[in-house]
Amino acid sequence: QKEVEQNSGPLSVPEGAIASLNCTYSDRGSQSFFWYRQYSGKSPELIMFIYSNGDKEDGRFTAQLNKASQYVSLLIRDSQPSDSATYLCAVTPMDSNYQLIWGAGTKLIIKP
Amino acid sequence: DAGVIQSPRHEVTEMGQEVTLRCKPISGHNSLFWYRQTMMRGLELLIYFNNNVPIDDSGMPEDRFSAKMPNASFSTLKIQPSEPRDSAVYFCASTRDGYQPQHFGDGTRLSIL
C-alpha cells in the first residue's frame, strides 16, 4: 500500500517566521513530488513541484527533497496570515505516470 | 487562459435523485481526473481519462457512479440514484498528457439529503 504521510496539525507559526511542513512517502521509486495549498472551501492550488534531490526555491517557498530518506518538505519564509491554509503533499508512484498519492494535509495557522 | 470549469458549484438534492456534475478541462489538456474529497477520506481519485478514453476507473465507488467524456472539452460525472453518503466535494482536474502537475477546478459541493 503506497502511502504519503503528513502531520495533520494544526501547525501554528508566528507571522514573519519560517513555517516548515514535512511529508514522508513509502514508494522508494517515486519520481515527482508536489505541494498544493488549499484554503478552506476552495480547491487545491499547485505551489511547488520538485523532481530532483535538493532544494528548489520560488519566492518565499522552498521545496526540499531527500529521496534516500523518502521525505519532502516545504519551507515558507516570512510567513503571512494569508499563508494560513491546508498544505497537501502529493507523490507520483513509480508504476504510474498519472496517478497521485495524496497526503491528508497539514493545517497551517499563521498568527499575527 | 481559462482554468478548469466545473458546474454546478453547489448541489443539494434528495436521496434517490440523479445528480450530474460537469467539467470543462483547460484547453489543450488531454488528461482529465475526477476526485472526491471528504474530511474522513481526503482526496480520492474516482476516474482518469486520457484522450477522452477512461483509463482508470478503479476508484469509482460503485455502479451508481458513471462518467463520460464525449469530447476533449467536456466531461460528466453522474450519480444515480444518489445517497446521503455521496455528500462530498467533487473536483475535476486536468493536465497535458497525464503528466503532472494537475490543475483543479473550483469543485462542486454536493449535499444529498
Residue A70 has pLDDT above 70, yes or no: yes
The SS3 assignment for B109 reads: strand
Q: Which of B4, B33, B100 is the best residue to mutate to test the A interface, defined by the most A CB atoms within 10 Å of its own CB?
A: B100
CB atoms under 10 Å from CB of B64, counted, come to 15
Is A98 within 8 Å of B56 when comparing Cβ atoms?
A: yes
User: Within a 10 A sphere around the Cβ of A26, how many other Cβ atoms?
Assistant: 14
At A95, the pLDDT band (50, 70, 90 cuts) reads: confident
**Strand pairing category for A106-111 and A11-14:** parallel
- Best probe of the B interface among A98, A101, A106, A107, by most B CBs < 10 A, is A98
DSSP result, B36-76: EEETTTEEEEEEEEETTEEEE-TT--STTEEEEEEETTEEE
Chain B positions in Cβ-Cβ contact with residue A88 (cut-off 8 Å)? 43
* pLDDT mean over B55-81: 95
Which amino acid type is present at position A109? I
Q: What is the pLDDT of residue B99?
A: 66
- Over its C-alpha atoms, chain B yields an Rg (Å, rounded) of 13
d(CA A84, CA B70): 39
**Minimal Cβ distance to B98: which of A45, A46, A98:** A98
pLDDT tens figures, A6-57: 999 899 999 999 999 999 999 999 989 999 999 999 999 999 999 989 999 9
Calculated CA dihedral for residues A48, B47, B112, A89, nearest 10 degrees: -20
By the 8 A CB rule, do A102 and A6 touch? no
Q: Which residues pair with B13 in a beta bridge?
A: B112
Q: Is the pLDDT of residue B34 over 80?
A: yes
- What are the chain B neighbours of A104 within 8 Å (beta carbons)? 42
Contact B107 A102 (CB under 8 A): no
Separation in Å, CA of A92 to nearest CA in chain B: 8
- Considering only CB atoms, which chain A residues are within 8 Å of B21? none
Give the percent of chain B with pLDDT over 90: 91
Chain A, chain B: beta-carbon pairs less than 8 Å apart: 44
Amino acid at A104: A
pLDDT at residue B98 is higher than 70: no
Q: Which three three-digit cell numbers place residue A42?
A: 476552495
CB contact (8 A) between residue A102 and residue B31: no
β-bridge pairing B74-79 and B65-71: antiparallel
Chain B positions touching A46 (Cβ under 8 A) are: 101-103
Contacts of B31 in chain A (CB under 8 A): 98
Contact flag B91-A42 (C-beta cutoff 8 Å): no
Flag if B102 and A46 touch (Cβ within 8 Å): yes
